[in-house]
Structure 1
């Protein structure tokens, strides 16, 4: 994991890294030409099919996994950490107010179609996102909406004030990005897969912006489905929907050290037991999110269970809209004291998990140990319920089915344990199970028809706003009416460019969230595993689930 100072560095110089990458490329190429180790095919068992292959129109891990291998971002994350390092930009810097970012680009980089990477190509991507037309297309740009907040012309549900202002190609290797306001997400958010840089030539040739909607279904253009074109170490070859396989091939003109593999195949296998069986049979070389209950068996079979460093938060959400008692903070505090989080971590979660006392992991600037804590105390919970006159509550507790999340490997087990804790202090629990993509997210996040629910977040980058800002930065149906002062706390923290002031403001916001607002109960932080066969080398587990297969080989 990275240190808290990693994000705080607003000025980064890394020209040496670019020179080193060139020298490593030459060495790797000569070794492969001389018959050195490498080559072959790696088959990864994917849990689901990608929506498409255009990063800007995606927001889920199964879509991002192949995209990360084909594209690069201006800034990237050092493998195995949340630290920033050069990507397509060898260095970057901002003005003191954080509104102007200057990127120095690598020279000699080409897209898979032969188009040269230069500042005009970079600006074409930023302008494309900002100028995107159509409610359908804008609705699919989830990360852009979260980070940049608004478009040149908002359509459909888009309504934010744009953070982006303009991009200027100062010269072929210098792109200058102007923002209307500072955001604490930067510079780390420049490394998000959604903000990968695409070939302007390919985007124009294959009508990249032509997204249409029919009911709940979306149709994506040829660029996103057949011709994704980045600068990454692998190139798109095919997507065989009948065989459920996505095939990528090595990019021998990659600017960095070329991939050791000849081919990288993602085989879509929705059932976890089927993935486990195919790993045992040797028809796949790895898969993600194995059940913690299977760790021992997988290791006994000789496989490598690679556990990521914790960078996620599971919380018990509380909706104050439907049940008046939940608007009393004493009742929310009682719920917090009622849940035996230590037991959940010991009995329901994989190794490396820990109790969360707040909504930010300890490695993020803005975390503070000095928050109000709610240790397991059933008698204290009963006392608080009595003081609030809420001894006879019945609460609709929603939990998801047909899903495994990094922070929630078995939702039914976690629900059962927490429901038993609540029943023990006198709260009657009405269980409501909903399929993750068949009612749960809509009921919880849009309709707000629940009282309690389980959700969480695996961080995308190392900034407190990526956690508490995502959770509580604006009015959400999943929590019901909330205190505007909480929104103000978070907005104030996010708007401070000075790293020390930024972190201090988030520390204070976290204190207020846990003592004054308590819109939910932080439960635990965890790092899920990824498993590969014993003959696989070079896969580095990422706390961001941002694994790159460029370093992978098989012996």
Structure 2
């Protein structure tokens, strides 16, 4: 699929304007869904042929075996049911009937097997290692897929939720697993991509859940938050829908427009303050605990987040309610002498791409000022994506603010990503006890025992503070009043089918 060059801000809005068509009135006089819909977002939903999914999941172009509901429980998607055998070491998923690919061919179990083997063969498509315990995946007839695991995984249906099992027709993949042109099963199929500008889709009327409500959808990349808001108010786009799409301070302006509806939804994203635990001054747990204790998260959230989030008492979303213990409450302690004596520069990193989506700059400056009042010299450095992640990985920082979404809804996704000694995002804190607890909890099939293990881990986090959860996001989104029935779910996915997201 040909990718066009990045276009100007004016061209983005012009494209959105030409794409929109007015909504028609319903038979009962209420606004009907528009024939087309343009959604403004602050990032590019084109993920590329080298990614696991080609397009972001919010586009509704591809589907997976399961999804997670607002209680972080696995619910059917392409799989209508599943069962565990052999003490959660064998999982069998049964596909829905009458599911078609965008080319009209039927979805069968061997297509899912090929998609899963693609993920397993190419670690870049499974960066969190969710499928690392899968020894084999095979068919059992046309509609059943069998996963054989090396160890028990009681939460396996969560691991294959959403980004854990994107299904594509094997014929659209090359020998390296790259997606040439995506052929999937979602309610919308890809029309074109303007890289850095927008993604355009059209309805797939043969979708298993019935024809979708919109004939065409455009996701318009508008990085500047003010430009997004003005485009919505002026009617150049129909909606803003993504986590961080509407900044907290924009609520009042948008609500003053009689043509705009502002909404809010709890999402599975938590904002974290990371410490470099491998270098001074935060190699000391006392230094990390002191900083965490002097940061008034309640005030910080009240001033800058303005109702679009709640202070974090867990390291991940409390929507995972079985594993949310509310134990992250840093104590007020005296400033450690080694921190008070530290005369070096403390580098706080911010990801430039996040600053038009969350109030990170303002929060960072407030933390900077607070630490300055105690004699600490903090320098804020704003970096683009590649440099930001390289600096985190190589330890060229002292603090950083970053979002994290619990995509599987299970605590192991957090602990295996941030806390385990060999975790992809471990920031220098290592604990043999934590490693043992994490590996034990991952495979524990007794619910009571598993809950106790994760409670112990959260107690350790509160004591050692390798990172500080700042707040849990409640994402703001907005749409034109004539767009009826529009909402966004807990994974910031616009609900673009007639029967909703779940």
Cα distance between partner residues in 1 of 2:355 and 2:208: 34
In the alignment, the residues of structure 1 paired with residue 387 and residue 484 of structure 2 have an alpha-carbon distance, to the nearest angstrom, of: 40
- The 5 A counterparts of 1:313-328 are 313-323=270-280, 325-328=281-284
Asked if 1:230 corresponds to 2:184, the answer is yes
Q: Indicate the residue corresponding to 1:470 in structure 2.
A: 417
Q: CA deviation at 1:428?
A: 0.9
CA RMSD of aligned residues (A): 2.9
Higher helix share: 1
d(CA) in 1 for partners of 2:438, 2:345:
29
Residue 543, structure 1, aligned to residue 497, structure 2: no
Aligned to 1:447: 394
Aligned to 1:412, which of 361, 369, 376?
A: 361
Query: For each residue in 1:235-289, what CA deviation from the matched residue of structure 2 results, as whole angstroms up to 9, or x when unmatched?
Result: 12222459x3322111111101321111111222222222222112212111232
CA contact (8 A) 1:367 1:510 kept: no
Partner of 1:331: 287
8 Å CA contact retained: 2:269, 2:472: yes
Which secondary structure state, in structure 2, belongs to the residue aligned with residue 549 of structure 1? coil
Q: Within 5 A, what are the aligned runs for 1:48-197?
A: 48-52=43-47, 57=52, 63-66=56-59, 69-78=60-69, 82-95=72-85, 97-132=87-122, 138-139=123-124, 141=125, 144-148=126-130, 162-183=132-153, 185-193=155-163, 195-197=165-167
In the alignment, is the contact (CA less than 8 A) between 1:184 and 1:502 conserved in 2?
no
Note the alpha carbon deviations across 1:353-381, whole angstroms, 9 max, x for none.
22223313333222223x36225x4xx33
Residue 44 (1) aligns with residue 39 (2): yes
Q: Distance in 2 between matches of 1:463 and 1:422?
A: 34
Q: Match for 1:519 among 463, 466, 478?
A: 466
User: Normalised by the size of structure 1, how large is the TM-score?
Assistant: 0.77
**2:121 and 2:283 mapped to 1: Cα distance?**
42
Q: Offset of 1:58 from its aligned partner?
A: 5.1
Is the Cα–Cα contact under 8 Å of residues 53 and 63 in structure 1 kept in the other structure?
no
Contact 1:55-1:196 at 8 Å conserved across structures: no
Query: How far off is 1:393 after superposition?
Result: 4.7
- Comparing 50-59 with 428-437, greater Cα deviation is found at 50-59
Whole-angstrom distance in 2 between the partners of 1:391 and 1:319 = 18
Tell me, yes or no, if the aligned pair for 1:361 and 1:525 is still in contact at 8 Å.
Answer: yes
Q: Partners of 2:141 and 2:57 in 1: how far apart?
A: 31
Contact 2:39 2:219 in 1 (8 A): yes
* Cα 1:473/1:58, change in 2 over 3 Å: farther
Counterpart CA distance in 2 for 1:57 and 1:498 is 33
Partner of 1:529: 476
CA–CA separation in structure 2 for the residues paired with 1:481 and 1:280: 47
Cα 1:58–1:109 shift into 2, 3 Å: closer
Segments of structure 1 that go 5 or more residues without pairing to the other structure are: 1-30, 133-137, 150-161, 212-220
- 3-state SS, counterpart of residue 381 of structure 1: coil
Give the C-alpha shift of residue 344 in structure 1: 0.4
Q: Secondary structure at the match of 1:120?
A: helix
The number of residues matched between the two structures is: 466
In the superposition, the TM-score normalised over structure 2's length comes to 0.85
Given the superposition, is the C-alpha separation of residues 53 and 403 from structure 1 closer, same or farther in structure 2, using an over 3 Å criterion? closer
CA distance in 2, matches of 1:518, 1:458: 19
Give yes or no for contact 1:475–1:481 (8 Å, CA) kept in 2.
no
Higher mean C-alpha displacement, 264-273 vs 391-400:
391-400
Listed as ranges, the gaps of 5+ residues in structure 2 are 1-25
1:481 Cα offset (Å): 4.5
> Partners of 2:294 and 2:341 in 1: how far apart?
13
Q: 1:460 to 1:310 in 2, by over 3 A?
A: same
Any conservation in 2 of the 1:44–1:265 contact (CA below 8 Å)? yes
- Residues 396, 430 of structure 1: 8 Å contact kept: yes
Aligned CA distance change for structure 1 residues 261 and 510 (closer, same or farther; 3 Å) = same
Measure the CA separation in 2 of the matches of 1:316 and 1:70: 34
Decide whether aligned partners of structure 1 residues 416 and 550 sit closer, same or farther in structure 2, where only a CA change above 3 A counts. Answer: same
* Distance in 1 between residues matched to 2:361 and 2:308, nearest whole Å: 21
Aligned counterpart for 1:293 among listed residues 241, 244, 249 = 249
CA distance in 2: counterparts of 1:360 and 1:240, whole angstroms: 34
Distance of 1:88 and 1:292 partners within structure 2: 36
Instruction: Note the C-alpha offset of 1:54.
Output: 5.8
Q: Distance in 2 between matches of 1:208 and 1:286?
A: 39
Shift of 1:74: 1.1
**Counterpart in the other structure of 1:155:** none
Distance 1:77 1:322 in 2: 38
**Counterpart in the other structure of 2:10:** none
Provide the rounded CA distance (Å) in 2 between the counterparts of 1:545 and 1:95: 33
Aligned to 1:13: none
